[in-house]
């Protein structure tokens, strides 16, 4: 299988293990993203924040790059900052 099939007994473990492996493999290239993925994930949702818009944009770019390296595309972005949501044109 090339996908984690939800509904199977091992799916929650596999989903978390894939994220852990992604951080182990490429986290050194994306330190902000690695920290967020390691501590702010709930199943397949990332719930995190940043102190300012610049840091939030950096985090978003790193998250996109980290997950892209694992063959995953992030979607369903939400933020209370319209500027951050508007910066998705290149992603």
* pLDDT tens digits for range 17-34: 989 999 999 999 999 999
CA nearest 55: which of 33, 27, 22?
33
**Taking a C-beta distance cutoff of 8 angstroms, is the pair 44, 15 a contact?**
yes
User: What is the pLDDT, as a whole number, of residue 88?
Assistant: 60
Mean pLDDT value of segment 50-72: 94
- Quote the mean pLDDT of the chain: 88
**Minimal CA–CA distance to 57: which of 90, 91, 37, 87?**
87
Structure pTM?
0.84
């Amino acid at each position: 299988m090339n996908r984690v099939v939800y509904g199977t007994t091992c799916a929650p473990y596999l989903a978390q293990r894939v994220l852990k492996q992604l951080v182990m493999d490429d986290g050194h290239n994306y330190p902000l993203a690695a920290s967020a993925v390691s501590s702010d994930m709930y199943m397949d949702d990332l719930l995190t924040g940043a102190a300012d818009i610049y840091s939030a944009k950096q985090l978003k770019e790193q998250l996109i790059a980290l997950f892209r390296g694992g063959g995953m595309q992030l979607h369903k972005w939400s933020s209370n900052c319209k500027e951050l949501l508007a910066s998705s044109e290149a992603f």
